[in-house]
């Protein structure tokens, strides 16, 4: 069914007919569905869930919107979708691009204007990055909008590479092993935060959005600042990937295969409770003890 390019949501109208693009689309749709299933993003509820799908106008959020509508179009995603763009007042932001695109595609949407740009520029010292404060202000407004619209979840377009980069940023600069979770309950406990593109590579999002000729809007707030920690981490990962293709995917799999007994956090593993003779290690085929 997903291979039938003649029966698709309008967001896929005009898609390239090439075998390469069909494989790309199929892979992104499959990986998104796998993430939704793997992390239990569909609530078991008598009331149909409603998702606030957040759009920045970048390649990732366009890919997210298209794939979620494809799954819904196919009857594989039993949720209502409301697209939302938060216009944060950046100078020169093309405010008409997203509403015109969404209305043309027949996508229910809400466009919200909140001048958080002025707050960020005023509060952040010169030379410091805007991302942390900008993100907090944006998230607070999105939570508010989700509640006003009766949504059960805020859905973001972060992909596999975002998750990896955040892990290494926390490792290098934060002194902790943590990253963006694919599924999160907000502090108030009334909204989920989902990242359905968690298994999708950034390069695939870029190829897909460019092939579909979606009207990409660059981020002129943080994207114009040089020396961001995330950009530094991205360069490191790019180098590793170039030297050993597939390295990103191996590292991502490691995030899904944590071994608390072989880390150093007594809050995750009861080292004090270990007693000699109480446990036996299974041996693998090579005679070495298996990691627990």
Q: Which residues pair with 50 in a beta bridge?
A: 80
Region 10-220: CATH code? 3.40.50.620
Q: Any residues with CB less than 8 A from the CB of 55 and at least 6 apart, and which?
A: 61, 62, 65, 83, 84, 85, 98, 102, 157
The pLDDT tens digits for 152-176 are 999 999 999 999 999 999 999 999 9
pLDDT of residue 18: 96
Q: Are residues 159 and 259 in contact, defined by beta-carbon separation less than 8 angstroms?
A: no
Tell me the pairing of strands 109-113 and 80-87.
parallel
Q: Which of 256, 79, 226 is nearest to 151 (CA)?
A: 79
- Cα 42-76-146 angle, rounded to 5 deg: 45
At residue 254, what are phi and psi to the nearest 5 degrees? -65, -35
Contacting residues for 2 by C-beta, under 8 A, at least 6 apart: 26, 29, 30, 70, 74
Residue 277 phi/psi, 5° resolution?
Answer: 85, -5
By CB atoms closer than 10 A (0-12, 13-18, 19+), residue 3 is exposed
| Helix, coil or strand: residue 94 | coil
The pTM assigned to this predicted structure is 0.88
Locate the domains of the chain by residue range: 10-220
Asked whether 272 and 278 are in contact (CB, 8 A), the reply is no
Q: What is the pLDDT along the chain (292 residues), one digit of tens a residue?
A: 344 545 677 898 889 999 999 999 999 999 999 999 999 999 887 889 999 999 999 999 999 999 999 999 999 999 999 999 998 888 888 889 999 999 999 999 999 998 888 888 877 887 777 777 888 888 999 999 999 999 999 999 999 999 999 999 999 999 999 999 999 999 999 999 999 999 999 999 999 999 999 999 876 655 445 447 888 999 999 999 999 999 999 999 999 999 999 999 999 999 999 988 865 555 455 444 455 4
So what's the pLDDT on residue 6?
55
Q: Which two tokens stand for residue 219?
A: 């981020």
Q: Classify each residue of 105-144 as buried b or exposed e, where b means 16 or more C-beta atoms within 10 Å of its C-beta.
A: bebebeeeebebbeebbeeeeeeeebbebbeebbbebbbe
CA distance 88 to 257: 38
Three-state SS for 166?
helix
């Amino acid at each position: 069914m997903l291979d039938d390019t003649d029966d698709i949501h309008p967001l896929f109208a005009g898609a390239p007919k090439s075998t390469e693009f069909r494989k790309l689309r199929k892979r992104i749709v499959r990986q998104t569905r796998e993430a939704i299933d793997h992390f239990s993003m569909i609530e078991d509820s008598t009331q149909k869930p409603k998702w606030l799908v957040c759009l920045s106008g970048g390649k990732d959020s366009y890919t997210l919107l298209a794939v979620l509508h494809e799954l819904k179009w196919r009857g594989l995603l039993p949720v209502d979708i409301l697209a939302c763009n938060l216009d944060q007042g950046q100078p020169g932001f093309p405010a008409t691009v997203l509403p015109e695109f969404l209305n043309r595609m027949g996508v229910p949407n809400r466009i919200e204007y909140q001048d958080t740009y002025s707050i960020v520029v005023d509060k952040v010292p010169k030379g410091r990055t805007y991302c942390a404060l900008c993100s907090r202000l944006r998230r607070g407004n999105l939570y508010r909008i989700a509640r006003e619209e009766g949504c059960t979840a805020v859905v973001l377009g972060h992909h596999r590479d975002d998750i990896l980069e955040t892990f290494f940023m926390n490792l290098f600069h934060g002194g902790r092993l943590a990253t963006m979770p694919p599924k999160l309950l907000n502090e108030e406990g009334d909204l989920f935060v989902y990242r359905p593109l968690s298994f999708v590579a950034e390069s695939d999002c870029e190829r897909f959005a460019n092939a579909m000729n979606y009207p990409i809007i660059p981020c002129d707030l943080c994207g114009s600042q040089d020396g961001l920690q995330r950009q530094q981490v991205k360069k490191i990962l790019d180098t590793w990937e170039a030297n050993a293709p597939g390295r990103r995917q191996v590292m991502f799999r490691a995030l899904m295969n944590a071994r608390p007994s072989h880390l150093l956090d007594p809050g995750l593993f009861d080292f004090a409770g270990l007693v000699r003779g109480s446990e036996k290690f299974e041996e693998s085929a090579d005679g070495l003890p298996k990691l627990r």
